[in-house]
């Protein structure tokens, strides 16, 4: 860990504009990642982890859009080039560039070369009708072509004309990928521990097992020697034993290459095992972040505590998130109240919490911050919101005007047992692509 900042996300907002309304999937998210560290993000299903990852690599798809925020990425070469071409300090900040200000083509050129991604389900993340080796070779090739012409960010020396595209739909793309890239693909397969890589390279995804394919995806992610590896639940779809192997592989590769990893998971055990620092996500925000020690040993946010409290054995396979009572929050804009998003599930909700908490520094550690008033105030019985404050009636009023405590609070105070238990765990095994 070289302690030098590589990525600084400020106030990132990503929204989906759906038929039912605006979904605030990522809301005002701040995060910094140092070079060479493993940063973990953990949170319930639907908390916006995948969308955060996609925002980083600019692959949020319609109807979604990044609406606000900055993603500062340290890339001295790009910064120089931009300054040369007359970019202002909106776009660059010392060695940092704001990725959101780059052109689409420039952002694309960062994929694979600076940012690589591993997705949750390897089976569906490979094209079923092209051999694995070929797909990895493509990833090598695109970087090779980029390097062949390093001066220009956007014209990546693609020299691949329309005719080639047309042919490539029918012929299995003999043209785009060169022999050298193919050889490199085989090397990469070997590197991630695939036996008989030469033969294996010519097989199709359906001929691989899940674990093998996840290794192949890691190989593919390494093709461009990226600075940042975004791993979105890389082990969720795999058996427990294979999970451990994949994590070992990632650790080993990280140690060898010194790359930075953003590891997204449901699994606190994985976090504990892999990460240097961790951010806990809830309803599109990072509600608490800090070093592993900060978050695991001195959690402040009741949500973090809830997560940790329900995990008996962090190292074991049981390190998955346990249910926390209450509803998974709606991310629809018109249903998101202006208060702590966790308040309706929070056992310590207080008067202050009716106002949205900013990020507070937690004393005793440099990195430790949380979006919870408990960081500054002591919880006392008098300040507590009455039971059932956020039940049906309260909620409805809540969305409109700021309710006065006495009005709704007492009236609905008796039926607090109506809250349903939602299992974060049961939702986590889906594809991570809620629609």
Partner 1 sequence: MGLGKFLVKRTLQGLFVIWGVVTVVFLLRHLTPGNPVNTLLPPEASQEQRELFAERLGLNDPVHIQYYDYLVGVAQGDFGVSMATGRPASELILIRLPATIELAVAATVVAVVIAIPLGVISARRRHEPSDYGATIFSLVGISTPNFWLGVMLIIFVAVQFGPLPTGGRGPSFVDAMIATLTQGQFRDGGIVEWGRYILLPAITLGTYFTALLTRLTRSGMVDEIGKAYVKATRAKGLPETLVLYKHVLRNTLIPIITVLGLQLGTLIGGAVITEEVFAWPGLGRFLIHSIYQRDWVLIQGTIIVIGVGFVIVNIVVDALYVYLNPKVDLE
Coil, helix or strand at residue 211? helix
Q: Does 353 bind ligand SF4 (CB under 6 A)?
A: yes
The strand pairing partners of 369, in sequence order, are: 289, 361
Q: Does 51 bind ligand ATP (CB under 6 A)?
A: yes
Q: Does 348 bind ligand SF4 (CB under 6 A)?
A: yes
Q: Does 283 bind ligand SF4 (CB under 6 A)?
A: no
Least Å distance, CB 160 to partner 1, is 7
Q: Which stretch binds ligand SF4 (CB under 6 A): 144-152, 226-234, 367-375, 415-423?
A: 367-375
Let me know: does 146 contact 114? Beta carbons within 8 Å.
Answer: no
The Cα 42–Cα 46 span in angstroms is: 11
Residue with token string 């105070």: 413
Interface residue with ligand ATP among 12, 33, 49, 109 (CB under 6 A) is 49
The Cα 175–Cα 274 span in angstroms is: 40
Q: Does 279 bind ligand ATP (CB under 6 A)?
A: no
49 binds, among ligand SF4, ligand ATP, partner 1, none (CB under 5 to 8 A by kind): ligand ATP
The Cα 120–Cα 212 span in angstroms is: 13
Interface residue with ligand SF4 among 66, 349, 362, 424 (CB under 6 A) is 349
Least Å distance, CB 152 to partner 1, is 14
Q: Which stretch binds partner 1 (CB under 8 A): 141-149, 244-252, 340-348, 415-423?
A: 141-149
Q: Which stretch binds ligand SF4 (CB under 6 A): 37-45, 258-266, 307-315, 339-347?
A: 339-347
Q: Does 307 bind ligand SF4 (CB under 6 A)?
A: no
Q: Does 431 bind partner 1 (CB under 8 A)?
A: yes
Going from the C-alpha of 112 to that of each of 138, 157, 238, 378, the distances in angstroms are 11, 16, 24, 47
Residue nearer to ligand SF4 on the CB measure, 355 or 433: 355
The Cα 348–Cα 321 span in angstroms is: 20
3-state class percentages of the chain: helix first, strand second, coil last, to nearest 5:
40, 20, 40
Residue nearer to Mg ion on the CB measure, 50 or 92: 50
Q: Does 25 bind ligand ATP (CB under 6 A)?
A: yes
* Residue count, binding to ligand SF4 (CB under 6 A): 14
Residue nearer to ligand SF4 on the CB measure, 144 or 348: 348
The Cα 318–Cα 269 span in angstroms is: 8
The Cα 237–Cα 403 span in angstroms is: 44
357 binds, among ligand SF4, Mg ion, ligand ATP, none (CB under 5 to 8 A by kind): ligand SF4
Q: End-to-end distance of the chain based on CA atoms, in angstroms?
A: 37
Going from the C-alpha of 334 to that of each of 306, 395, 396, 424, the distances in angstroms are 27, 12, 11, 23
Q: Does 191 bind partner 1 (CB under 8 A)?
A: no
Q: What is the DSSP letter of 62?
A: T
Q: Does 243 bind Mg ion (CB under 5 A)?
A: no
Interface residue with ligand ATP among 6, 37, 39, 46 (CB under 6 A) is 46
Let me know: does 46 contact 425? Beta carbons within 8 Å.
Answer: no
Buried b / exposed e over 346-377, threshold 16 CB at 10 Å, is: bebbbebbbebbebbebeeeebbbbbbbbbee
CA 404 to mean position of chain CA atoms: 38
Q: Which 395-424 residues touch ligand SF4, going by CB under 6 A?
A: none
Q: Does 45 bind ligand ATP (CB under 6 A)?
A: yes
Binding mask 369-388 for ligand SF4 (x = CB under 6 A): ---xxx--------------
Binding site for ligand ATP (CB under 6 A): 16, 18, 23, 25, 43, 45-51, 63-64, 266, 331, 427-428, 430, 432, 434-435
Binding site for Mg ion (CB under 5 A): 50, 432
């Amino acid at each position: 860990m070289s302690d030098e900042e590589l990525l600084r996300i400020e106030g990132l907002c990503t929204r989906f504009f759906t038929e039912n309304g605006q979904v605030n999937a990522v809301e005002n998210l701040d995060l910094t990642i140092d070079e060479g560290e493993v940063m973990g993000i953990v949170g319930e299903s639907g908390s916006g982890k995948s969308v955060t990852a996609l925002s980083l690599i600019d692959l949020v798809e319609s109807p979604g859009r990044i609406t606000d925020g900055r993603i500062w990425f340290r890339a001295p070469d790009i910064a120089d080039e931009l300054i040369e071409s007359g970019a202002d300090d909106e776009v660059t900040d010392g060695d940092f560039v704001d990725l959101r200000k780059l052109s689409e083509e420039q952002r694309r050129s960062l994929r694979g070369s600076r940012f690589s991604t591993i997705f949750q389900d390897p089976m569906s993340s490979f094209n079923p009708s092209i051999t694995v080796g070929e797909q990895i070779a493509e990833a090598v090739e695109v970087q090779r072509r980029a390097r062949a012409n390093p001066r220009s960010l956007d014209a990546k020396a693609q020299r691949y004309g329309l005719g080639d595209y047309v042919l490539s739909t029918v012929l299995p793309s003999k043209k785009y990928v060169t022999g050298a890239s193919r050889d490199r693909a085989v090397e990469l397969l070997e590197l991630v521990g695939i036996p008989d890589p030469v033969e294996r390279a010519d097989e199709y995804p359906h001929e691989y097992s899940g674990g093998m394919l996840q290794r192949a995806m890691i190989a593919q992610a390494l093709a461009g020697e990226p600075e940042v590896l975004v791993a979105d639940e890389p082990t969720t779809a795999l058996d427990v034993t294979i999970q451990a192997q994949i994590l070992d592989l990632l650790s080993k590769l990280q140690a060898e290459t010194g790359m930075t990893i953003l590891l997204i998971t449901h699994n606190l055990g994985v976090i504990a095992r892999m990460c240097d620092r961790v951010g806990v996500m809830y309803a599109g925000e990072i509600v608490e972040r800090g070093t592993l020690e900060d978050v695991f040993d001195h959690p402040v946010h009741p949500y973090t505590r809830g997560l940790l409290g329900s995990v008996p054995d962090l190292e074991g396979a049981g390190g998955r998130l346990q249910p926390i009572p209450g509803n998974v929050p709606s991310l629809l804009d018109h249903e998101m109240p202006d208060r702590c998003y966790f308040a309706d599930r929070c056992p310590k909700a207080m008067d202050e919490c009716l106002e949205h908490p900013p990020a507070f520094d937690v004393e005793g550690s440099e990195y430790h911050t949380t979006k919870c008033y408990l960081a500054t105030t002591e919880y006392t019985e008098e300040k507590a919101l009455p039971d059932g404050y956020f039940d049906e009636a309260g909620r409805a009023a809540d969305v409109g005007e700021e309710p006065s405590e006495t009005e709704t609070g007492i009236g609905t105070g008796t039926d607090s047992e109506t809250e349903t238990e939602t299992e974060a765990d049961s939702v986590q095994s889906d594809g991570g692509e809620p629609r």
